[in-house]
Amino acid sequence: MHDDPATPPTDSPPRGRWAALWADVREAVRGSDRDFTRGSLPRAIFLLAVPMVLETSMHSVFAVCDTWFVARLGPAAVAGVGLTDSLLAVVFAVSLGLSMGAAAMVARRIGEKDREGATVTTVQAIVLGLIVSVIVGVAGAANAGRLLELMGAQQDVLDAGTGYATHIFGGCGTILMLFLINAAFRGAGDPFLAMRVLALANLANVVLDPILIFGLGPIPAMGVTGAAVATNLGRGLGVLYQVRILTSGRGRIRIRRRHLQVVPETMARLLRVSAYGIFQFFVATSSFTGMVRVLTPYSSSALAGYTIAVRVIIFVLLPAWGLCNAAATLVGQNLGAGRPERAVRSVWLTARFNLGFLCSAGLLFIVAARPIVSLFTDAEDVIGYGAQCLLLVSLGYPLMAFGMVLIASFNGAGDTRTPTFINLVCHWLLKIPLAWVLTWQLGWGPTGVFVAIPVAEAVAALTAVVFFRRGHWQRKVL
């Protein structure tokens, strides 16, 4: 990756390449003060993508860790966690939508060399996040059991999952803050800070999960509810670390007392950019709720297998989103610097990297789907459903690799309308109806749900290519 023309040649090419690669890895992890609107584009992608991939991978560790421990409590417990995750669609949609808007605006300001504007945008995003946290947290925690019932949860799932859902909704503010502030770090070109925040939060969650779920010494076993408490505590610790970073000036964004105020113009602009983004991600995340609703009447085992498979899929897709975030940051900063041609090149180059990564992951799923699901449960029927889901979804990875990067690039440019339209058509108007028809009308059972996912993703990717080539996203004003 160290191919900057300004770099002098080395006497030993093989050793020189490895030394340069290691130097880039260290710079990526420790932090870089480079201007990403100039210089080697592959290196810029590498320096941004390494910490972003690590960060997004660690987002999935929360879910995978919780599922791994909760699976020891039985299929009903896993199903309760899965239903709760589907109910969090609103929280994740708002988190991702506001984060996307914040990252796009921060990146644009950094590209314009306006760090003060980037800081003001970050503060306004935090204020919005706090308001939403209170509203959603109180409403969700107070109605957790009713919401699970609306999702069609059977009594064993209700008994196991209500406590988990109550605590997760009550702590949803930590989800919002982690997403928002880390998005500001990424948009500013400081993804290494976001990576460190998630490392700390995950470490706390991994340590606390078995202690609070199964008990230790004087600490009583809390069962499934313990997983929610551990997750909230881990995320909360990460948020405290974010605040310390923002106030200490360790990155490109530094919050001072004068910034602690509402700036109506900036907040209104952020809301305009984020509004479509929130709806965009609500469509995508709530489609998971719709798929769960199609699947729920079969059995707890089918739902548990699907839940485990989705957790594994997310574990793979989140690193891929790290690459997508690198493209989004480069698009925003280069448009801000008046270099749209560099923005376009960064998108296609990142898409090729993502293609290689997801194809490798898909091959792994094809070869070892059952052993992977078996890591989470020894229930044979659950393993069968989960393995089938992994196998079928992986077939859509080649096209999905391009679609993911293109969607992220639209958002990085502040063009949130285009991906919102794509998500609406492909997830709501195609994926959920197709799953219902295949599952119930054609009698495919859970297989119908699993097949509908890669079909919808393939259509979304092809549609994104068409819109990207038109180039309207390059002229978006933030």
Each residue's pLDDT tens digit, 455-471:
999 999 999 999 999 99
316, 323, 390, 387: which is closest to 352 by C-alpha?
A: 323
Question: In the predicted model, is pLDDT for residue 61 greater than 80?
Answer: no
Report residue 13's pLDDT band, with 50, 70 and 90 as the boundaries.
Answer: very low
Tokens read off for 419: 């991906």
Give the span between the Cα atoms of 5 and 39, in whole angstroms: 8
User: Mean pLDDT, to the nearest integer, of 380-398?
Assistant: 95
Residue 411: inside a domain? yes
Which run of H or of E encompasses 312?
A: helix 300-336
Mean pLDDT (the chain) is 90
Q: What angle separates helix 300-336 from helix 340-374, to the nearest 10 degrees?
A: 160
User: Mean pLDDT, to the nearest integer, of 293-302?
Assistant: 85
Give the span between the Cα atoms of 163 and 170, in whole angstroms: 11
Give me the count of residues in the chain: 478
Task: Choose the weakest-confidence range: 21-25, 189-193, 348-352, 358-362.
Answer: 21-25
113, 109, 30: which is closest to 332 by C-alpha?
A: 109
Give the span between the Cα atoms of 319 and 357, in whole angstroms: 9
* CA-CA-CA-CA torsion sign (239, 332, 61, 207): negative
133, 169, 132: which is closest to 148 by C-alpha?
A: 169
Tokens read off for 303: 């739902």
Question: In the predicted model, is pLDDT for residue 15 greater than 80?
Answer: no
Which ranges of 249-299 would DSSP assign to H, the alpha helix? 264-295
Residue 467: inside a domain? yes
Residue 2 is predicted with a pLDDT of: 42
Residue 287: inside a domain? yes
* Residue 440 CB partners (closer than 8 Å, separation 6+): 294, 448
Residue 33: inside a domain? no
* Residue 271 CB partners (closer than 8 Å, separation 6+): 101, 128
Tokens read off for 100: 């996307």
Residue 314 is predicted with a pLDDT of: 82
Quote the Cα angle for 342-109-50, to 5°: 60
User: Mean pLDDT, to the nearest integer, of 105-120?
Assistant: 95
194, 201, 200: which is closest to 252 by C-alpha?
A: 194
Report residue 256's pLDDT band, with 50, 70 and 90 as the boundaries.
Answer: very high
Tally: H helices and E strands in the chain: 18, 0
Report residue 94's pLDDT band, with 50, 70 and 90 as the boundaries.
Answer: confident
Residue 4: inside a domain? no
- SS3 (DSSP) at 471: coil
Task: Choose the weakest-confidence range: 54-68, 338-352, 459-473.
Answer: 54-68
User: Mean pLDDT, to the nearest integer, of 191-218?
Assistant: 93
Tally of domains in the chain:
1
15, 187, 176, 163: which is closest to 98 by C-alpha?
A: 176
Question: In the predicted model, is pLDDT for residue 219 greater than 70?
Answer: yes
Question: In the predicted model, is pLDDT for residue 476 greater than 70?
Answer: yes
Residue 439: inside a domain? yes
Residue 194 is predicted with a pLDDT of: 93
Residue 3 is predicted with a pLDDT of: 43
- Are 175 and 95 contacting, i.e. CB atoms less than 8 angstroms apart? yes
Residue 10 is predicted with a pLDDT of: 42
Exposed (0-12), middle (13-18) or buried (19+): which is 141, by Cβ within 10 Å?
middle
- Entry pTM: 0.81
- SS3 (DSSP) at 104: helix
Question: In the predicted model, is pLDDT for residue 285 greater than 80?
Answer: no
Give the span between the Cα atoms of 420 and 298, in whole angstroms: 31
The position carrying tokens 């489609």 is 287
Report residue 60's pLDDT band, with 50, 70 and 90 as the boundaries.
Answer: low
Residue 5: inside a domain? no
Which is higher by pLDDT, 15 or 473? Answer: 473
Tokens read off for 409: 């690039």
User: Mean pLDDT, to the nearest integer, of 74-82?
Assistant: 86
- How many other β-carbons are positioned within 10 Å of the β-carbon of residue 324? 30
Domain that holds residue 438: 39-475
- What is the per-residue burial (b if ≥16 Cβ within 10 Å, else e) of 153-180? bbeebbebbbbbbbbbbbbbbbbbbbbb
Percent of the chain with pLDDT over 90: 66
User: Mean pLDDT, to the nearest integer, of 160-168?
Assistant: 91
| Distances, alpha carbon 201 to alpha carbons 24, 216, 242, in Å | 25, 21, 11
* Residue 22 CB partners (closer than 8 Å, separation 6+): none
Tokens read off for 242: 């974010």
Residue 8 is predicted with a pLDDT of: 43
Output phi, psi for 476, to 5 deg: -70, 130
Residue 460: inside a domain? yes
Give the span between the Cα atoms of 192 and 33, in whole angstroms: 11
Exposed (0-12), middle (13-18) or buried (19+): which is 147, by Cβ within 10 Å?
buried
Which run of H or of E encompasses 72?
A: none
Instruction: Calculate the dihedral angle through the C-alpha atoms of 439, 444, 449, 450, rounding to the nearest 10 degrees.
Output: 180
Output phi, psi for 39, to 5 deg: 85, -165
